[in-house]
Amino acid sequence: MSLGGLFALLCTEIDGGGNRPAWRGARIAAAHGLGLFLAGVSWVYVSLSVFGGMPAAVAGLATVLFCLVLAIFPALAGALFVGFAVAGWWRRGLLFASLWVLAECLRAWAFTGFPWLAAGYSQTPPSPLAGYAALLGVHGVSFFSALLGALIFEVSRRCLTTEPCSTRGGQRHFPALPLLAGAAILVAGEQLRDLRWTEVAGEPLSVALLQGNVAQEMKWRPERFVDSLRTYYRLAQEHPAQLTVLPETALPAFLDQVPNEYLEALQNLALRQNGDLLLGIAVADGKQYFNAALSLGASGQQRYSKVHLVPFGEFVPPGFAWFMAMANIPMSDFTAGSPGQPPLRLAGQRVGVNICYEDIFGEEIIAALPAATLLINISNVAWFGDSLAPAQHLQIARMRALETGRMMLRATNTGMTAIVDVDGRVLSSLPPFTRGALVGEVRGHTGATPYVRWGNWPVIAFACLLIGLLGRRKAAPRKQVLVQRETK
């Protein structure tokens, strides 16, 4: 509905008469984007001010500037849409959806990428549009979301007009056509939801996902270090499983600062189940520091180092050291891990591990596939407090499960710890801001969805092709149409 409203406002600019400049479309779409991001990523202020120690005014200004930068991408789509000024409801709908998707893809790439709040994430199950995820990924779902928004507007406009089948500019307008097109999109998506692109591999696996609920303001205090060790050991001891997963930086120290006796005790807990334990911890390697996941247990010690780091949170972009000096963010100067790290072999499964922010990049997640049979995300979203971020992050994980045909396990410090099935449904989860373990049975899967094979390129190519074909057909200025009618 939101995208349909944006489409309506942009069409009004085109139909307003005369040659409307593209900047008017940019202004409308920028306002839409600014509202979207100010509401949707308001948790940036929480991380900077409440937990980063930045003065409230500076944190507020930084958040607004961040949202203004993000609004550039929808503004670009709006400018091009009004600039092309195509005629015909179906041409406009397809062009709008194509431009919106390309703007999202550009946002997912520029400045290391920030694809958070892509429109497709709103269409996790039970939405019929979720069926397109395994084919085209989240950006393909965004395309159909934007197109459906345009069709909703067209149906509404035709229902409200006094002459629904009248002749306008030599063309007959039938209100049923956009309605049928929208219904076809939804029916096809619902049918695609029933398809299974992957197959079960191996026996059921018992898992325990630990949620320590260690408050962010207390996490890095030296006097709480022993309490953190004790918390996670007790949770692992009380909830034995073949695969135990601890959150990102569950232990607030570097690996070489953790007592060997403690690591051996965790390993022994895993060995009792003939299984493995995956631990989120920072690792120092010479002068380099990695945000890592370390495995202990029957499969031997293995490590995954985070590849896609968060700007300002995990590394300092060139020229912004002054900004980081104002924020008190520990562990904010990591080194990126090597791309192409193989899946870890844990408890008889090949596990594609990703850490926190990494799972918002669908094309990077599929780099571990089809080799990986299971996906695990470890996170610490305590940085964002009781905000929209944890629930949004879980919805992103659901989309990754849909795209890959793999179960996604999430172990977090404060929430949302969850087990997500291959069809994007949340099988079970822990309440946020509680301490506990989520215990369940999961299955590995083999095979590859079309999205795993091709990534985002089919959507990008299709959108570019549509823009090239549709951008040639311009709408006649409204005044010229009125003159033609009077002449007839």
Instruction: Look up the pTM and report it.
Output: 0.90
Rg of the chain in Å (alpha carbons): 25
Domain 200-448: give its CATH architecture. Answer: 4-Layer Sandwich (3.60)
Over residues 441-469, mean pLDDT: 96
Report whether 20 contacts 13 (CB < 8 A). yes
Catalytic residue among 248, 314, 358, 403: 248
Which pLDDT band holds residue 326 (cuts at 50, 70, 90)?
low
Higher pLDDT, 185 or 159: 185
Say which of 11, 67, 105, 356 is annotated catalytic. Answer: 356
Torsion sign across C-alpha atoms 81, 84, 85, 91: negative
Active site residue 486: no
Sketch the domain layout of the chain as residue ranges.
2-164+173-196+455-487, 200-448
Angle between helices 56-84 and 2-14 (to 10 degrees): 50
Bridge-based pairing state of the strands 436-446 and 199-211? antiparallel
Please report the pLDDT score of residue 175 as a whole number: 67
End-to-end CA distance of the chain: 38
Which amino acid, 396?
I
- Give the pLDDT confidence of 92-146 residue by residue, as tens digits: 999 999 999 999 999 999 988 999 999 999 999 999 999 999 999 999 999 999 9
pLDDT value of residue 16:
75
- Whether 306 is catalytic is yes
Q: Give pLDDT, residue 483.
A: 43
Q: Could you say which of 11, 154, 306, 403 is catalytic?
A: 306
pLDDT digits (tens, 9 = 90+) for 220-252: 788 888 999 999 999 999 999 999 999 999 998
pLDDT of residue 170: 42
Position with higher pLDDT, 219 vs 386? 386
> For 3-49, what is each residue's pLDDT tens digit?
999 999 999 998 876 667 899 999 999 999 999 999 999 999 988 88
175, 239, 308 from 145: Cα distances, Å: 20, 42, 28
Name the residue among 159, 142, 168 with its Cα closest to residue 2: 142
Is residue 104 flagged as an active site residue?
no
pLDDT tens across 268-311, in order? 999 999 999 999 999 998 888 999 999 999 999 999 999 998 87
The pLDDT of residue 164 is above 90? no
The bridge status of strand 436-446 relative to strand 426-429 is unpaired
Q: Locate 426 and state its tokens.
A: 């949340």
Burial 326-355 (b: 16+ CB within 10 A, else e): ebebeebebbebeeebebbebbbbbbbbbb
Structure tokens at 45: 């202020």
Amino acid at 109: W
pLDDT at residue 169 in the model: 45
Average pLDDT over residues 477-482: 46
pLDDT attached to residue 482? 41
